[in-house]
Chains A and B, each alone.
Chain A
Amino acid sequence: MIITENKPWEEVKQALELHHVKNVVIVACGICAAKVGTGGTEGAAKMKSQLVEHGFNVVTTAVVDEPCDERMTKQAFRKIKDEINEVDAVVSLTCGLGTQAMNTVMREKFPKKVALTALNTVFMGETERFGVYKEGCRACGDCILNETGGVCPITHCAKSMLNGPCGGSVDGKCEVGDYTRPCGWIEIYEALESIDRLDLFLKVREPRNWSESGHQRELNMRDKPAKEEGGDIHD
């Protein structure tokens, strides 16, 4: 899940002023941000009252399932096109993906308008319980979970070490965060120990290959041949 949090109100207000916005439409994510509470009907209602309280005019609110999917956003915007035409901007309660997808659609359908985000996207996280999330994956593109007891060193180790732990681990805790968070490499050790595979811990792992992930990545499965090793990649 993509974890988002609210931007401080002052920052939202400054963004609205920067773009000379008075009248808005709120569009909120119905999936990840809805679960976190920053989006969905709950997040949209909170944002609406805040905007109204500060003198902004909210023409309508909409909750879109998967606003990160340009097709879904396009469909939703079609339904509220009159309202969008009427306002100065869309206030987005989605992760960075949703806001960018909205802006992509708007450049095509409402070229004079902009979607302004009221959220910060913080990480891809696992849900521990409601309201408690933990970053779990950096989408490095070269998953080694099968060798590390199912614990990701790129994410769990503050230095993303591939051969840890470092000297900053004290009693199983990491120097980053003032020794409150677990050292990822101690977690890996314990996970491998419990399945009797400490031999995997001893492996010297090569440095990460950044050639494919040090820039914006794209994946086009349509242009690939239908059959590849391991099966059909099409549905």
Chain B
Amino acid sequence: MTELKTHSNLMKAIRSGEFVITGELEPERTSNIEPTVHEAIEIKKYCVAANVTDNPKSTVCLSSLAGSYLTQEKSGLEIVYQLTCRDQNRMGLGAAILGANALGLKNILALTGDHNACGDMPKSKPVFDYDSTHLVKLVREMADKRSIEGLALDDDCPDITIHVGGAANPNANPMGPEIMHIQRKAMAGVEFLQTQVVYDIDIAEPFLKEIKDKTGVPVLLGIFPMRGYGVAKGFDEMVPGVSVPKDLLAKFKAVKKSGFEKKEKNEAYRKLNIDFYVPMLKELKKKNLVAGCHIMAVHYPKIFPPLLDALGLQPR
């Protein structure tokens, strides 16, 4: 077997076997990247890398390529550049990957992307020339064979030093098609997986076991720490296919109604998140089913230090 080349801190951490933490950053509908950079600086000590989203939920935002580059440059935190197939064809995607390489980005999360019809520009033309599996394949082709759909890169092109990840959906029902979908991504060469948010270990465990048995691709389990009852309720209502467990939601509601001072409330929310997620993560870690955790705590950087502490992890 040939030795695997490792270009990013993220892949280095995954391959070293340490419990890997990644975060998530969302540039918004502004060309001001500073809030994103600020958040990246806040979480930098607590994660090896953070994703920068690509028009999340099909809403138009600052470009993920520009956002990824600027955030990585200004914060020093390694970025996972999220790239969807919704907004550009294979020519655009190939060009974006060359651009990412030129800008020093080291990880791409290859996504199909939410459909335009679900976002804020439903009249726009959906591209979907590629799907996520094709995009995984393209990154690997460019990195491993120095070509784009068979077109050789120029001789002076530096090696493409980018790793490619994919998404996985533990909440899929039925599960069979999703497992096979991930198997295809594995065949296409995906190097790591980040899952959608999961709340239930009884859902997560069999899913992770199937992925491990059938692909062996390292998985970062997606969790969504909620900074207050409003966020929890909004997530429960707005994200199809994922429900915040009723008792957890009730606990968040109780904190909101508690009459506590703001600081006490924040402390109570923090504790609820930790008490809920940490046992699940520890259990999955113990069973060797996850390589780490993808913490989608957008605009909630303060959860990182106590969460890591409870997981027994040191700041970087």
A229 to B174, CA, bound (A): 42
Q: In the complex the two chains form, is B134's CB within 8 Å of A163's CB?
A: yes
**B112's closest neighbor in chain A, by CB?**
A166
Within 8 A of A (CB), among B129-147: 129-134, 137
Q: In the complex the two chains form, is A167's CB within 8 Å of B196's CB?
A: yes
Q: How far is the CB of B190 from chain A (nearest CB, A)?
A: 11
A166 to B240, CA, bound (A): 13
Q: In the complex the two chains form, is A166's CB within 8 Å of B129's CB?
A: no
Partner among A168, A171, A193, A204 whose Cβ is within 8 Å of the Cβ of B188: A204
- Does A158 interact with chain B (Cβ within 8 Å)? yes
Known: A170-B240, A175-B240. Is A207-B112 also a contact (CB below 8 A)? no
Q: In the complex the two chains form, is A160's CB within 8 Å of B128's CB?
A: yes
A193 to B180, CA, bound (A): 12
Task: Give the one of A167, A175, A202, A204 with max B CB within 10 A.
Answer: A167
Known: A170-B241, A201-B177. Is A163-B114 also a contact (CB below 8 A)? no
- Does B56 interact with chain A (Cβ within 8 Å)? no
- Does A137 interact with chain B (Cβ within 8 Å)? no
- Does B236 interact with chain A (Cβ within 8 Å)? no
Interface of A is mostly: loop
Q: In the complex the two chains form, is B115's CB within 8 Å of A172's CB?
A: no
**B116's closest neighbor in chain A, by CB?**
A176
- Does B104 interact with chain A (Cβ within 8 Å)? no
B residues in contact with A186, CB < 8 Å: 174, 177
Within 8 A of A (CB), among B143-178: 167, 169, 171-174, 176-178
CB-CB contacts of B109-127 with A at 8 A, as 1s and 0s?
0001011011000000010
How many A residues touch the partner, as a band? 20 to 34
- Does A77 interact with chain B (Cβ within 8 Å)? no
- Does A9 interact with chain B (Cβ within 8 Å)? no
A165 to B173, CA, bound (A): 11
Q: In the complex the two chains form, is B173's CB within 8 Å of A170's CB?
A: yes
Task: Give the one of B130, B177, B188 with max A CB within 10 A.
Answer: B177
Known: A170-B241, A186-B174. Is A202-B131 also a contact (CB below 8 A)? no
Known: A202-B180, A207-B134, A210-B129. Is A167-B167 also a contact (CB below 8 A)? yes
Q: In the complex the two chains form, is B180's CB within 8 Å of A161's CB?
A: no
- Does B187 interact with chain A (Cβ within 8 Å)? yes
Partner among A163, A171, A193 whose Cβ is within 8 Å of the Cβ of B184: A163
- Does B285 interact with chain A (Cβ within 8 Å)? no
CB-CB contacts of A190-217 with B at 8 A, as 1s and 0s?
0001000010011110111010000000
B residues in contact with A177, CB < 8 Å: 117
Q: How far is the CB of B239 from chain A (nearest CB, A)?
A: 9
Within 8 A of B (CB), among A149-171: 158-171
Q: In the complex the two chains form, is A167's CB within 8 Å of B180's CB?
A: no
Q: How far is the CB of B82 from chain A (nearest CB, A)?
A: 13
A198 to B171, CA, bound (A): 21
A210 to B178, CA, bound (A): 27
A175 to B184, CA, bound (A): 22
Chain B interface residues toward A at CB < 8 A: 85-86, 90, 112, 114-115, 117-118, 126, 128-134, 137, 167, 169, 171-174, 176-178, 180-181, 183-184, 187-188, 196, 240-241
Chain A interface residues toward B at CB < 8 A: 158-172, 175-177, 179, 185-186, 189, 193, 198, 201-204, 206-208, 210
- 9 further A-B contacts with Cβ under 8 Å, apart from A163-B131, A175-B115, are A159-B85, A160-B128, A163-B133, A167-B172, A169-B177, A176-B117, A176-B118, A207-B134, A208-B129
